[in-house]
Amino acid sequence: MEHDGMIQAAGERIRGAANVVVVTGAGVSAESGIDTYRGAGGLWEKHDVNEVATASALRRDPAKVWRFLLLLREHIAAASPNAAHRAIAALEDRVATVRVITQNIDGLHQAAGSRTVLEIHGNVREARDPETGAIHALGELDLERLPPLCPRTGRVLRPNVLYFEEAYDPEIMGLASRWVRQAEVILIVGTSGMVPTPYFLAWEGKSAGAFVIDVNLDRSAPMFTFGTELADLFLQGKAGVVLPQVVALI
Ligand code: APR
């Protein structure tokens, strides 16, 4: 099928669906000027992941891990939602149930108006007490001295982000898993699959009957498709171009 035909087919599938899940990665925010993690110019080319984004780095040098997070936060604060985020939010006017599962920590889906967003890797807006799980808005903390302390208890706080070497929150993943199993269509947008969670979720949804549409500049790493084709439709291109075309047909 050529590209226009596939856009058409994606639009028809979504038009006929009452429940759509959108799973997103860094590629959905690329057109907002936020760096992706992998590939040329990606964050992991410029920063050593073992120094700034692992559980052991957080234990070894929490101030350094915090400084990296605050750098991302600054970068994100200067960005706004792009046409891809807006198209995903606009699905809510056309489909009864739309849920977004994102690996991104930038909050741009919510800024674009998506109302049901599960941030499986956390976010840049909050800190967390590692003992009690209590959440604090970063805006309410003194960030001059890192790591920041809870103003009430004086305890050291950590970013509310999931780092490498850490396990997913089972409650969050339980919810993600329920959502994909209820979905009729799963749109997977701008994720490399190097962290395979989006692909596991899409496979879970697909085995429960969902139609899977992958939107990406490139085909994802074949090892995470387990030798068979995960996507029923692969729409190659920029999310900010492809998604508005699809949504215009619904
Ligand atoms: N439109 C669509 N896809 C795009 C665009 C775009 N404009 N720009 C880039 N992409 C695609 C790339 O082809 C790539 O497949 O987005 C993907 C980005 O991949 P990664 O940088 O690996 O980002 P992601 O998959 O979200 O990373 C997963 O890894 O480091 C961790 O916790 C971090 O959540 C992140 C996780």
Instruction: Identify the CATH number of the domain defined by range 35-78+126-161.
Output: 3.30.1600.10
pLDDT > 90 fraction of the chain, expressed in percent and rounded: 90
Contact 186, 213 (CB under 8 A): yes
Residue 224 has pLDDT above 90, yes or no: no
* pLDDT classification of 1: cutoffs 50, 70, 90: confident
Where is average pLDDT lowest: 28-37, 150-159, 219-228? Answer: 219-228
| 111-128: average pLDDT | 98
220: confidence class by pLDDT, cuts 50, 70, 90: low
Where along the chain do its domains lie? 1-34+80-121+167-250, 35-78+126-161
Is the model's pLDDT at 192 over the cut of 80? yes
CA of 36 to the centre of ligand 1 (A): 5
Taking residues 104-127, report their average pLDDT. Answer: 98
Q: Could you tell me the pTM of the whole model?
A: 0.97
Ligand 1 contact, 27 CB (< 6 A): yes
Indicate whether residue 57 lines ligand 1 (CB < 6 A). Answer: no
Residue 228 has pLDDT above 70, yes or no: no
Angle between the N-to-C axes of helices 239-247 and 3-15, in degrees from 0 to 180, rounded to the nearest 10: 50
Asked if 36 contacts 42 with a C-beta cutoff of 8 angstroms, the reply is yes
Kindly state the DSSP code that residue 231 receives in the 8-state scheme: -
Q: Whose CA is closest to 117, among 160, 34, 176, 75? A: 176
pLDDT digits (tens, 9 = 90+) for 7-66: 999 999 999 999 999 999 999 999 999 999 998 889 999 999 999 999 999 999 999 999
Residue type, 179: W
* Domain 1-34+80-121+167-250 is found in CATH 3.10.250.10: no
Percent of the residues in the chain that have a pLDDT greater than 70, as a whole number = 96
Q: Is 196 in the pocket of ligand 1 (CB under 6 A)?
A: no
Per the annotation, the verdict on 85 as an active-site residue is no
Contact (Cβ atoms closer than 8 angstroms) between residue 42 and residue 49:
no
58 closest CA partner among 147, 144, 145, 170: 147
User: Beta partners for 102?
Assistant: 24, 119
- Please give the average per-residue pLDDT across 183-192, as a whole number: 96
Fold: same for 1-34+80-121+167-250 and 35-78+126-161: no
Bridge partners, 233 (sequence order): 213
Q: For residue 221, what pLDDT band results from cuts at 50, 70 and 90?
A: low
Cα 131 to ligand 1 centroid, rounded to whole Å: 31
Does the CB atom of residue 24 touch ligand 1 within 6 A?
A: no
Cβ of 111 closer than 6 Å to ligand 1, yes or no, is: no
Provide the mean pLDDT of the chain: 95
Q: Determine the pLDDT at residue 68.
A: 98
DSSP state of 26: T
Q: Which carries the bigger pLDDT value, residue 141 or residue 41? A: 141
What number does the ligand 1 atom closest to the CA of 194 have?
A: 22
162 beta partners: none
Q: At residue 77, what is the residue type? A: A
Task: Name the residue at shortest CA distance from atom 29 of ligand 1.
Answer: 195
